[in-house]
Amino acid sequence: MEVIHLTQPPKKNRPDQLVLALGYFDGVHIGHQKVIQTAVKIARDHGMKAAVMTFHPHPSVVLKHMSKRDDYLTPPEEKAILMKQLGVDIVYFVKFDHDLSRMSPQDFIDRYVIGLNVKHVVAGFDYTYGRMAQGNMETMKEHSRNMFTVTVIPKVTLFNEKVSTTKIRELIQSGDVESARPLLGRPYRIKGMVVHGDKRGNTLGFPTANIKTLDPYVFPERGIYAVRLMLDDEVYQGAGYIGTRPTYYDNEQPVVEVFLFDFHRTIYGETVTVEWLKRLRDDKKFDRSEDLVQQMHRDIEAAKRYFQEA
């Protein structure tokens, strides 16, 4: 799969004819998957290449009237990996800046869609484009200049509610990772590197992997979770912690730590992925280390029960 970063409109058409899925696609949730899979199927049926056009950063980082969103459910690299798994041939990351935000809807279509030799566009019913979001799926057929056709994906719902990135973010931030999972179509994941911590887990008898995220993720609510950790194509079960370690520190930035069952390897410097499966309890300050150790034993047992019953 090609990954192409565009900081300005392409200067000439590609020789390939494209079916293009349009959207921001943070989370690549089941609604996004419907858009992308439809584009892939149409491309395969007509002997074309399936492409996705997304944007970076989020428009809210540039546009003052929007609530700023500078963290991700799926950072760009992971977004591209998920799209490859869906069968996409090309992903365009278009730089969203003030120039792009001021581009008229017709100019955007002319330069970024027709200019890429796109023959069919697929997008969700609520997709907008161009200055002040003046372009939408009603206007796209007019703006196409009869150079491409359009498929509009209707609202995707689950449990009688629209599937949306906003809803998924709210669920994760509240700690309800279980409810976010069917909307995403997979467990919520965070990727990072195992780094040295203060070794306090070793002292307490619970050595943990301290994980430094490499991108600004949406963090789950602070607390203890049943988690899976993926390393070198192997999957391990454990209990994960996200929080400020209030028993020992004041005003610390949240950290991510994972205790793995029956795991004895040294993995400093390794890149790992953590899947957040179920929240077990809130973060809590303990008066004594002994009380924390007793609670950690209970947390491990609770996590093991989750996996036994799952």
pLDDT in tens, 47-89: 999 999 999 988 888 887 667 788 999 999 999 999 999 999 9
Helix (H, G, I), strand (E, B) or coil at 216: coil
For residue 246, what are the contacts with CB-CB under 8 A and spacing of at least 6?
283, 284, 285
57: preceding bond cis by omega (within 30 degrees): yes
| Cβ-based burial of 240 (10 A; exposed 0-12, middle 13-18, buried ≥19) | buried
Residue type, 201: G
pLDDT at 204: 64
Q: What is the pLDDT of residues 187-233, one digit of tens each?
A: 999 999 999 977 666 666 678 999 999 899 999 999 999 999 999 99
What is the mean predicted confidence (pLDDT) over 14-31? 95
CA 205 from centroid of its chain's CA atoms: 34
Residue type, 171: L
Of 250, 245, 251, 254, the closest CA to residue 296 belongs to 245
Q: What is the pLDDT of residues 125-168, one digit of tens each?
A: 999 999 999 999 999 999 999 999 999 999 999 999 999 999 99
